[in-house]
Amino acid sequence: MIGQTKKILLTVLIATLVLTPIAFVSLIYWMVATASTEGSDWLVTKHFDPSSAGFLMSVQDDSWAVTLATPEFATLSEKERLALAKDTFNGVWSMAEGYGYVKSELEQWFMDTAKNFSSYPIKKAKLMNNSFMTFLEFTSGSIPKPNILATVLKMFTSNSVSAILPIFLWVAIPAIVLLFLLVGVASVFLTKELPVLYKIIVAGLIVAMVFEGWLIKVVSSKKIIPSGFFNVFTFGDNYVSATGTWRGVNQKIAYPVNAAKIECFKDQRICREANAELADSALMVNTTEWQITSWDDKEITIDHQSKCNTTKMVINFKDKAVTQIRTPIDPQPEDCMAGKEGKFITEMVDGFEAIYGKKFGVKK
């Protein structure tokens, strides 16, 4: 039995020593690939493909795709266009380098698009305020991609090795222990000489570990929800506040995970709204100041008109209800798209009801 145990331990040790470098390099590659994919999103949504930002919240005037589509760019000489491309590249390279982009390829792409800007189609897309942003649409094959393998090799062949040590200490060592355990378990089950009781104990430990991992996954995968608190609060005759989550009534709301607070002051004839919205992993915060149309002993009414639509908000502090109705202006200006969506009604509720009580983002 002792000889058999030594043989098992030797097999486990050799297998672990062989598999550990492979597992570690694979782990580093996966981490770099994940960081490159997620981290380079800013470059894609800002300069390469603004339409991928979702409602174009990331589109800015200095976006390269937007710059190339402006009439002013077409009036520049080729030398001026290339100089602008060079400046734009220099501005993004310090961050792009860390995400695995190749300097020569990325710089050449900026230069080529500056030279051949007229060959790309101009695309128009809607912004959150229902206005439009024009930008060039590049073919996916021409857009630079991060070189993950080169980044990994650079980490192992440069001074960046010091950055790998914390990863090894905090991630790789537990992974090696787990790998050692897995190889050991396999050896136990493949060794016929060991008593069945030992195999049953090992199997029980494996089931317990898998169950614990499943519980961790379930807990960590819970939806992020805003505060479950909804309230309309009044203080005297001059102040009313409402706190909760906006939910679509007649159609889907863009960002179901949101939290809003409205404060109204009668003497100022103003309501101020602060709103936080979660779009994927990005948190967006904005504020709006509304002019009060009427304020009586039951409710506050706000009527607001923008270029593309009219908004009517009613804060009923007697019935504890807040609703907002956005109606497209008829006829619609050419640069608006609100008419295609039609009337949009939202209401303020508590976060738990908005996320769990009904269909996600929509009231049944």
Q: Cβ–Cβ contacts within 10 Å for residue 153, how many?
A: 11
| Structure tokens, 191 | 């060794």
More confident residue, 170 or 332: 332
6-20, 119-133, 240-254, range with the lowest pLDDT: 6-20
* Tens digits of residue pLDDT in 65-114: 888 888 888 899 999 999 999 998 888 887 777 667 788 888 998 899 89
Query: What is the CATH code of the structural domain delimited by 231-357?
Result: 2.40.128
CB pairs under 8 A, 24+ apart, for 276-282?
276/226, 278/224, 279/54, 279/55, 279/57, 279/254, 279/255, 280/54, 282/57
Is the torsion defined by CA of 321, 308, 276, 247 positive or negative? positive
pLDDT in the model for residue 184 = 65
Residue 359 reports pLDDT greater than 60: no
Burial class (CB in 10 A: 0-12, 13-18, 19+), 92: middle
d(CA 19, CA 180): 9
d(CA 311, CA 324): 7
More confident residue, 17 or 260: 260
Mean pLDDT of 352-359: 63
Residue 313 reports pLDDT greater than 90: yes
Domain boundaries, the chain: 41-145, 192-222, 231-357
Q: 43 and 94 in contact (C-beta within 8 Å)?
A: no
Give the contacts of 243 (CB within 8 A, at least 6 positions apart): 227, 229, 230, 231, 233, 260, 261, 262
Residue 128 reports pLDDT greater than 70: no
Closest CA to 132 of 353, 332, 284: 332
> How distant, in Å, are the alpha carbons of 209, 218, 224, 264, 277 from that of 213?
6, 9, 20, 48, 31
pLDDT in the model for residue 362 = 41
Is the torsion defined by CA of 104, 110, 111, 112 positive or negative? positive
Percent residues over pLDDT 70 in the chain: 53
Residue 308 reports pLDDT greater than 60: yes
Residue 59 reports pLDDT greater than 50: no
The label of the residue with tokens 């909760």 reads 244
Mean pLDDT of 195-199: 65
Residue 229 reports pLDDT greater than 50: yes
Please, what is the average pLDDT of the chain? 74
d(CA 306, CA 328): 10
* Tens digits of residue pLDDT in 134-158: 778 887 667 777 766 666 666 555 5
Give the contacts of 268 (CB within 8 A, at least 6 positions apart): none
pLDDT in the model for residue 265 = 93
Burial class (CB in 10 A: 0-12, 13-18, 19+), 244: buried
